[in-house]
């Protein structure tokens, strides 16, 4: 629904207003209350900002290295690639005949940079697009594939990038495939056949067709979702109706030739708790995961979200307020899931998250291209710390999206590529993948803005398989450094190394003319005296340290 509104900015005022009215009426119950609360909370923020002065914040951190939490599933560091704007075409796929160096059509520079992130899982082909995608359009000789309108995001899809190309990308990246099936305009048969085509090693007609199309051995497909946002662009369904549809479709997701699929159901967004309640009550036992979508808008207003690059401290603050809300959403959706699934068998899959800003002047309406600044890096660091904290329930998260769309890792312009501040956060945080969560106690002063305040620090700790302890810390305060008096209980720290991502301005960014304006440097802001460790975390920074 939200994205339709974005795309429909291009429609006439009347159609647009009609859609807006529908949205407001439809969601007036569950969502409007929270929206009102957010507005109420944000009103003072949007007045003249009166920030704190630049004294040092004193904080304390206890890392309980002698205790162990759950494993941080590496899939929390997952990604999402939709047929949208210049993500697939140009961003990832340039075709075999392109002058841009490529491997079987996939651009080498982008794939090389993504490999550095250890992408664990990649969701495709949408988003809203998945509920209009018919997989048979995207197999066989490319020059024979049909060209179809991309009804969600505009333009025409050549289908040059289909199942084989996506699986090739996953293999190049070493990522697991997460395929999002079509419920909105598809059928259980179409879904069932796609799975057979990809995963069967038999001599069935579809498995033979895959071989004729160049792939002898079946692929592994560990994750398959039954639709996307079926409460919105995926079919405007009621939760009761979708719960039944889910059960029907999920029945036909079969395991062929040793492949084991985790079946994922469409979950809620934001604070739409009724959806989670109904899905868990009526279909919980048939699923392995339930999704959650939450986007950070500086304003909470889909018609005027705020600029990606031109903002001051009040917008910085407002963006972080809204990012932090995901903690509450995860807690409350998890509490509902706990009622029906106390064993935590069903994962909460936050398979769309990230910042969403206004379209840049001159850019395509449906392309959702946006720049990425230090503020996005801070947003990424906070979110990843929150997902780690909830690792007992959150089993996957997929930032939206991988290249050229929303909070991207990479931006491209023809043969040029830049790595965003968000890319560097994912690179620094990859040490948490599959590590054991270590409990922490963090006490940090508040970052105040007018009458409101936020915790000024966000942190997370884990121990990897080699026994190394990693701590990620974000200083949300753009003015005040933090002096963190740190105790590591249960270990003696002998050696510290670390990286820091920061800049002198809140909106520091990498551009095609200046691609290295912001990148990680060595972190040297620590002092170890006996067992007393002091960390000096600069204002507006993301730090990851390794303790041995």
Contact assessment for residue 132 and residue 184, using Cβ atoms and an 8 Å cutoff:
yes
DSSP codes, 506-525: TT-B--SSSTTSS--EE---
In terms of Cα–Cα distance, which of 146, 135, 236 is closest to 189?
A: 135
Q: Binding residues for ligand AHR, per CB under 6 A?
A: 2-3, 82, 126-128, 228-229, 352, 400-401, 406
Secondary structure of 456-468 in HEC code, one letter for each residue: CEEEEEEECCCCC
Q: In the bound complex, what is the minimum distance in angstroms from residue 2's beta carbon to ligand AHR?
A: 5
Our CB check for ligand AHR shows the closer of 285 and 304 to be 304
> Phi first, then psi: what are they for 77, rounded to 5°?
-100, 30
Q: In the bound complex, what is the minimum distance in angstroms from residue 539's beta carbon to ligand AHR?
A: 31
Q: Dihedral sign, CA of 475, 477, 480, 484?
A: negative
Alpha-carbon distance of 252 to 248, in angstroms, equals: 7
How is residue 31 written in tokens?
């969502």
Q: In the bound complex, what is the minimum distance in angstroms from residue 77's beta carbon to ligand AHR?
A: 18
Shortest-Cβ-distance residue relative to ligand AHR: 127
Alpha-carbon distance of 24 to 15, in angstroms, equals: 14
Q: Which of 132, 196, 245, 352 is catalytic?
A: 352
In terms of Cα–Cα distance, which of 170, 173, 171, 180 is closest to 227?
A: 180
Our CB check for ligand AHR shows the closer of 353 and 387 to be 353
Contacts of 98 (CB under 8 A, 6+ apart): 105, 107
Our CB check for ligand AHR shows the closer of 366 and 478 to be 366
Query: Does residue 229 have an active-site annotation?
Result: yes
Q: In the bound complex, what is the minimum distance in angstroms from residue 392's beta carbon to ligand AHR?
A: 26
Q: Which of 3, 82, 165, 229 is catalytic?
A: 229
Our CB check for ligand AHR shows the closer of 7 and 197 to be 7
Q: In the bound complex, what is the minimum distance in angstroms from residue 351's beta carbon to ligand AHR?
A: 9
Q: In the bound complex, what is the minimum distance in angstroms from residue 1's beta carbon to ligand AHR?
A: 8
Query: Does residue 446 have an active-site annotation?
Result: no
Our CB check for ligand AHR shows the closer of 87 and 437 to be 87
Q: In the bound complex, what is the minimum distance in angstroms from residue 322's beta carbon to ligand AHR?
A: 16
Alpha-carbon distance of 82 to 97, in angstroms, equals: 23
Contact assessment for residue 420 and residue 410, using Cβ atoms and an 8 Å cutoff:
yes
Our CB check for ligand AHR shows the closer of 127 and 478 to be 127
CB neighbour burial string for 106-129, b if at least 16 within 10 angstroms, e if fewer: bbeebbebbeebbbbbbbbbbbbb
Rg, the chain, Cα only = 23
Contacts of 210 (CB under 8 A, 6+ apart): 139, 197, 198, 218
CA atoms within 13 Å, Cβ hemisphere of 354: 30
Our CB check for ligand AHR shows the closer of 184 and 347 to be 184
Active site residues: 229, 352
């Amino acid at each position: 629904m939200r994205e339709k509104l974005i795309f429909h900015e291009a429609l006439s005022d009347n159609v647009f207003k009609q859609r807006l009215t529908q949205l407001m009426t439809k969601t007036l119950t569950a969502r409007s209350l929270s929206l009102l609360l957010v507005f109420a909370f944000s009103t003072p923020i949007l007045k003249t900002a009166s920030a704190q002065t630049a004294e040092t914040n004193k904080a304390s951190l206890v890392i309980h290295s002698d205790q162990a939490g759950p494993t941080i599933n590496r899939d929390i560091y997952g990604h999402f690639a939709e047929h949208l704007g210049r993500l697939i075409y140009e961003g990832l796929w340039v075709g075999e005949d392109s002058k841009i160096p490529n491997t079987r059509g996939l651009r080498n520079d982008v794939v090389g940079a993504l490999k550095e992130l250890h992408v664990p899982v990649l969701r495709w082909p949408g988003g809203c697009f998945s509920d209009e995608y018919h997989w048979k359009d995207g197999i066989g000789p490319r020059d024979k594939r049909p060209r179809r309108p991309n009804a969600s995001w505009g333009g025409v899809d050549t289908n040059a990038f289909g199942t084989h190309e996506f699986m090739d990308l996953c293999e190049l990246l070493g990522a697991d495939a997460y395929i999002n099936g079509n419920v909105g305009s598809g059928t259980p048969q179409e879904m069932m056949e796609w799975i057979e085509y990809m995963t069967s090693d038999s001599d069935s007609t579809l498995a033979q067709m895959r071989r004729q199309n160049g792939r002898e051995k079946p692929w592994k497909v560990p994750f398959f979702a039954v639709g996307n946002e079926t409460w919105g662009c995926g079919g405007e369904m009621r939760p009761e109706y979708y719960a039944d549809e889910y059960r029907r479709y999920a029945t036909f997701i079969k395991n062929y030739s040793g492949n084991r699929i985790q079946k994922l159901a469409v979950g809620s967004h934001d604070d739409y708790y009724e959806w989670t309640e109904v899905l868990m009550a009526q279909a919980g036992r048939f699923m392995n995961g339930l999704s959650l979508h939450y986007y950070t808008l500086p304003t909470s207003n889909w018609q005027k979200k705020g600029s990606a690059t031109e903002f001051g401290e009040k917008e910085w603050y407002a963006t972080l307020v809204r990012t932090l809300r995901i903690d509450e959403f995860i807690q409350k959706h998890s509490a509902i899931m706990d009622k029906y699934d106390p064993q935590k068998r069903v994962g909460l899959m936050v398979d769309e998250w990230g910042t969403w800003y206004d379209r840049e002047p001159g850019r395509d309406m449906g392309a959702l291209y946006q720049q990425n600044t230090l503020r996005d890096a801070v947003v990424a660091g906070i979110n990843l710390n929150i997902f780690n904290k909830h690792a007992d329930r959150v089993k996957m998260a997929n930032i939206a999206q991988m290249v050229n769309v929303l909070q991207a890792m990479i931006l491209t312009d023809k043969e040029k590529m830049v790595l965003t501040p968000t890319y560097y956060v994912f690179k620094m945080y990859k040490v948490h993948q599959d590590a054991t969560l270590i409990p922490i106690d963090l006490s940090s002063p508040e970052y105040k803005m007018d009458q409101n305040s936020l915790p000024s620090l966000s942190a997370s700790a884990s121990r990897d398989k080699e026994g190394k302890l990693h701590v990620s810390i974000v200083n949300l305060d753009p003015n005040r450094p933090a002096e963190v008096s740190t105790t590591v209980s249960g270990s003696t720290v002998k050696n510290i190394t670390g990286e820091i991502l920061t800049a002198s301005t809140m909106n520091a960014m990498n551009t095609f003319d200046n691609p290295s304006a912001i990148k990680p440097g060595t972190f040297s802001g620590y002092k170890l005296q006996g067992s007393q460790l002091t960390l000096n975390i600069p204002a507006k920074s993301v730090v990851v340290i390794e303790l041995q």
